[in-house]
Amino acid sequence: MDATTIPGERTLLIVDDDKSFLQRLAKAMEMRGFTVTAADSVAEGMTQVERAPPAYAVVDMRLGDGNGLDVISALKQRRPDARGIVLTGYGNIATAVNAVKLGAVDYLAKPADADDVIAALLSIDGKRPTPPEHPMSADRVRWEHIQRIYELCGRNVSETARQLNMHRRTLQRILAKRAPK
């Protein structure tokens, strides 16, 4: 979808404590015609909702200072027509159901790209978007996840291996290879 197909108001709040992901997604969404406000905590997201409730929101589930679902809930109270989605690296059925009950229109696993986010935000109620023509392979999703944890650990191989519960040498071999297609 291009920016000309976005109906109505194009304000978007993105709440995520992964600063590099937040910046990349904000830039990608701005390039697609949204006016983006970024926040890196539940408190900052709630402040933005109170100040000027956006038409759309993309909120990470687990943030350093609380649960992103609180931002979705506050947004739906202030602006019932708003459409929000929840992003998380820790997906399970119970949290997905809870996100939808609190007003989220969809629930996406990280890493989600801007096209996936737009498809979820703009989907018509009850109608799922068509699957992507060229989705990421399982190997690519795994590689992206490892890279994200590696960056969060300050590019420390030993700490990343501990966090991922894998042998350090195995991780070094994975990091030495090129990204899978």
CATH number at residue 153: 1.10.10
Under a CB-based contact definition with an 8 Å cutoff, are residues 13 and 52 in contact? Answer: no
Domain co-membership, 13 together with 76: yes
Domain co-membership, 24 together with 74: yes
Domain co-membership, 89 together with 144: no
Domain co-membership, 103 together with 142: no
**Does residue 6 carry a pLDDT above 50?**
no
Domain co-membership, 94 together with 172: no
Residues 76-83 have a mean pLDDT of 90
Domain co-membership, 106 together with 172: no
Burial label, 31 (beta-carbon count in 10 A; 0-12, 13-18, 19+): exposed
pLDDT tens digits, 12-41: 999 998 888 889 899 989 988 899 999 999
> So what's the pLDDT on residue 63?
84
Total domain count, the chain: 2
Domain co-membership, 116 together with 142: no
Residue 131 lies in a domain: no
Under a CB-based contact definition with an 8 Å cutoff, are residues 146 and 179 in contact? Answer: no
Residues 92-120 have a mean pLDDT of 76
**Does residue 95 carry a pLDDT above 70?**
no
For 60, the domain range is 3-122
Residue 89 lies in a domain: yes
Cis, bond preceding 111 (omega within 30 deg of 0): yes
The confidence band for 142, taking pLDDT boundaries of 50, 70 and 90, is confident
Domain co-membership, 49 together with 11: yes
Residue 85 lies in a domain: yes
Phi-psi region of 4 (alpha: psi -120 to 50; beta: other; left: phi over 0): alpha
Residue 168 lies in a domain: yes
pTM given for the model: 0.65
Domain co-membership, 109 together with 160: no
SS3 59: strand
Under a CB-based contact definition with an 8 Å cutoff, are residues 52 and 11 in contact? Answer: yes
SS3 85: strand
Residue 128 lies in a domain: no
Q: Greatest CA separation found in the chain?
A: 52
How far apart are alpha carbons 108 and 90 in whole angstroms? 10
Q: Which of 50-59, 101-110, 119-128, 171-180 has the lowest mean pLDDT?
A: 119-128
> So what's the pLDDT on residue 170?
93
**Does residue 1 carry a pLDDT above 50?**
no
Domain co-membership, 20 together with 104: yes
